[in-house]
Amino acid sequence: MRTLIATAFVSLDGVVEAPGGEPGYRNSGWTVKDIQFDEAAYEIKTREQDEAAAMLLGRVSYQAFSPVWPDMTAEFPGYNAMPKYVVSTTLREQDLVTNWGEINILRSLDDVAALKETAGGTIIVHGSATLNRNLSDARLIDRYHLLVFPVLLGAGKRLFSDTDKDKQNLKLVESQPYANGIQKLVYDVVR
């Protein structure tokens, strides 16, 4: 079974929306504003790219990343080369970019569960707030890689849903505080 990892920049109050500068969001850019850059805090991002064998995205994140990431050959060589899967009920094959390698559309969480049963290594989920919430609620996520930023944003998309569901225990497998206040937290989901 393949491991599914959700990776996120998250505020202390659980917001994942527009960390880098998305227009239309009043707290846009919160990962870089007022937080001193510390290269060590982002080591996990390089490791993720080296360890992942495939990327899973929701439609909104796919449509945000696909016009930009294929041209970022120095920053994302691993991600650009690996297969990508987009979970969407509305995206069509003709909507996919042709310069970003192999891209497949999955229509449901059942399709994601079936993908996890195949051979092929770790699958990583970037962005995709709605997809992350749905994957978590369906108990399809195996590990969380979180960079928790020392900021409270109040409004925005949340990493976790507020659905009334059974408790899901996590096991802390890695953590590291950084001088700029960011906390790296890596959790395995206890099955």
191 residues of the chain, pLDDT tens digit each:
999 999 999 999 999 977 777 777 888 888 888 899 999 999 999 999 999 999 999 999 999 999 999 999 988 899 999 999 999 999 999 999 999 999 999 999 999 999 999 999 999 999 899 999 999 999 999 999 999 999 999 888 899 999 998 999 999 999 999 999 999 999 999 99
Q: What is the DSSP string of the chain?
A: ---EEEEEEEETTSB-S-SS--TT-TTTTTTTTTS---GGGGHHHHHHHHH-SEEEEEHHHHHHHTTTGGG-TTT-HHHHHS-EEEE-SS--GGGS-SSSS-EEEE-SHHHHHHHHTSSS--EEE-S-HHHHHHHHHTT---EEEEEEES----SS-BSS---------EEEEEEEE-TTS-EEEEEEEP-
What's the CATH superfamily of 4-189? Answer: Dihydrofolate Reductase, subunit A (3.40.430.10)
Each domain of the chain, given as residue ranges in start order, spans 4-189
- Residue 71 is encoded by which pair of tokens? 């041209």
